Amino acid sequence: MGLDERTNAARLANSGLTRRSFLDLGARGLAAASLAPLWLDGAVAQALGRSERPPFLAVIFLRGAADGLHLVPPTGDRNYARARASLALEKSLPFATGFGLHPRLEALQPLVEAGHLAAIHACGSPRVNRSHFEAQDLVEAGEGDSPRLHSGWLARGLRRERESNPFASVALTSMRPLSLAGSGSFALADAGDFGLPGASDEARRRLALDYGSEPDRDLSRSGTLALEALAEFESKVARNFREHSFRERNFGERRGGPRHRRRGRRGGELTHRVSELLSLEAAGLPIDTAFLESDGWDTHQNQGTEKGQMANHIADLGTAIADLAAGLEGRREWQVFVHTEFGRTVAPNGSRGSDHGHGSVALVAGSRVRGGVYGDWPGLRERDLSEGRDLKVTSDYRSVAWEVLKGHLGATPPPDTFPGFRPQALGFGV
């Protein structure tokens, strides 16, 4: 590093904004795209081929291993009540022949009645893996056995989308998830503060001068375009986001009724993230795919049935999906894909909870989804369980994700989305 470069770095550091900190904000995604910032304009978006009802995909990861037998109880299985014992639901909502929905998923009943909610039961990774972190990494990388990939299945599958739109995929998370690793996608931990909050005009001017004088032409062009794009985001999208966010809060409070107004906002953390997502989309950010996550599904103790810690997470999930559907209905074709790293044990443990298992359930909702329960149900007799304790996996999660992507893209996903894996058609996609 020469004297002038060290001087510039020190000057920018004193102003609170450096090239490194700028790139760490997520500008790497824009820099890699090397696109002009006019993608924010509706006319340009249409010129790039966006249809009148452009497809929208939301992927929701339930971290902690969600109990699929709780979400979609197999009430028609004669062994259900005996096998689940104290975890068996006394009541469930009507869904499909032999299966119900957890009663706290009442927000999804309109989707069930319209035939737009599908459940793929006994779903998961073919490998039994009871480590949360390892299993999550394998699932997000799109692998079934041993770790060898350094990018995410969603990033590989959406490569075509990002060729014309650097904001095609975003994550409403504190850090970019492994599912989107390799895409340059943005992680919007706080959508209201995205960009260069707090940076002075002088700091921005100096950063622009640094990129303008950068001898590496590619870096100079990429950095300059990234700065211009973020400036346009702040001037156009950020202002609209604040306005739409206010409207969403009021809308949610009105729909939620007095009980939710006392709580200050409707639903839980996932519902709040969906509200932010809808506000960003309505503000003009051309999002085609969003990644969201929900924590707290590791229910070793006091799991409960119709009430309790898991029931609250289930209610939040149902409300979030219903709100997303209501926000996009009639404007865009949409899908929501919900999955987890593995399931829970069939029988309860001694702490009125469930331990790490194998098979779980995946949910797919959407305007072009055929409702019902899919996959081969293995049964809950002891001899039918995996290792004598868990629901078997009969549908590989990669087959579900492949069919979701195919419906979203309107074409066969790239061949390296799941390397070496041959997906099986399940039939829930129209």
pLDDT at 3 (0 to 100) = 33
Buried b vs exposed e over 318-338: b needs ≥16 C-beta within 10 Å?
bbbbbbbbebbeeebbbbbbb
Return d(Cα 28, Cα 26) in angstroms, integer. 5
Residue for token pair 């700065």 = 227
pLDDT at 242 (0 to 100) = 67
Pull the structure tokens for residue 390.
């868990």
pLDDT at 411 (0 to 100) = 94
Residue 29 has pLDDT above 70, yes or no: no
Place 17 in a pLDDT band, splitting at 50, 70 and 90: low
Identify the weakest region by mean pLDDT among 13-17, 319-323, 352-356, 362-366.
13-17
Return d(Cα 283, Cα 52) in angstroms, integer. 17
Asked if 355 and 428 touch (Cβ cutoff 8 Å), the reply is no
Task: Give the mean pLDDT of the chain.
Answer: 83
Work out the angle between the directed axes of helices 201-212 and 3-14 (0-180°, nearest 10): 160
How confident is the model over 389-409, as a mean pLDDT? Answer: 97
pLDDT at 267 (0 to 100) = 75
Which residues are CB-neighbours of 382 under 8 A, at least 6 positions away? 83, 388
Pull the structure tokens for residue 366.
């959407």
**Residue 110 within any structural domain of the chain:** yes
Identify the weakest region by mean pLDDT among 14-18, 155-159, 384-388.
14-18
The tens digit of pLDDT for each residue in 178-198 reads 999 988 787 888 766 666 666
**Residue 340 within any structural domain of the chain:** yes
**Residue 281 within any structural domain of the chain:** yes
* Main-chain phi, psi angles of 409, to 5 degrees: -80, -20
**Residue 16 within any structural domain of the chain:** no
Asked if 364 and 400 touch (Cβ cutoff 8 Å), the reply is yes
Domain count, the chain: 1
> Between 161 and 326, whose confidence is greater?
326
The tens digit of pLDDT for each residue in 243-293 reads 666 445 444 443 433 233 323 346 799 999 999 999 889 888 889 999 999
**Residue 300 within any structural domain of the chain:** yes
Buried b vs exposed e over 362-380: b needs ≥16 C-beta within 10 Å?
bbbbbbebbbbbbbebbbb
Place 11 in a pLDDT band, splitting at 50, 70 and 90: very low
What is the length of the chain?
A: 430
- Residue range(s) defining the domain that contains residue 283: 51-194+240-409
**Residue 420 within any structural domain of the chain:** no
**Residue 199 within any structural domain of the chain:** no
Helix (H), strand (E), coil (C) string for the chain: CCHHHHHHHHHHHHCCCCHHHHHHHHHHHHHHHCCCHHHHCHHHHHHCCCCCCCCEEEEEEECCCCCHHHHCCCCCCCCHHHHHHHHCCCCCEEEECCEEECHHHHHHHHHHHHCCEEEEEEEECCCCCCCHHHHHHHHHHCCCCCCCCCCCHHHHHCHHHHCCCCCCEEECCCCCCHHHCCCCCEECCCHHHCCCCCCCHHHHHHHHHHHHCCCCHHHHHHHHHHHHHHHHHHHHHHHHHHHHHHHHHHHHHHHHHHHHHHHCCCCCHHHHHHHHHHHHHHCCCCCCEEEEEECCCCCCCCCCCCCCHHHHHHHHHHHHHHHHHHHHCCCCCEEEEEEECCCEECCCCCCCCCCECCCEEEEEEECCECCEEECCCCCCCHHHCECCCECCCCEEHHHHHHHHHHHHHCCCCCCCCCCCCCCCCCCCEC
The residues that bridge with 337 in the sheet, in sequence order, are 59, 364
How confident is the model over 120-146, as a mean pLDDT? Answer: 93
How confident is the model over 208-226, as a mean pLDDT? Answer: 79
Place 163 in a pLDDT band, splitting at 50, 70 and 90: low
> Between 422 and 51, whose confidence is greater?
422
CATH number, domain at 314?
Answer: 3.40.720
Pull the structure tokens for residue 335.
């899908």
**Residue 170 within any structural domain of the chain:** yes
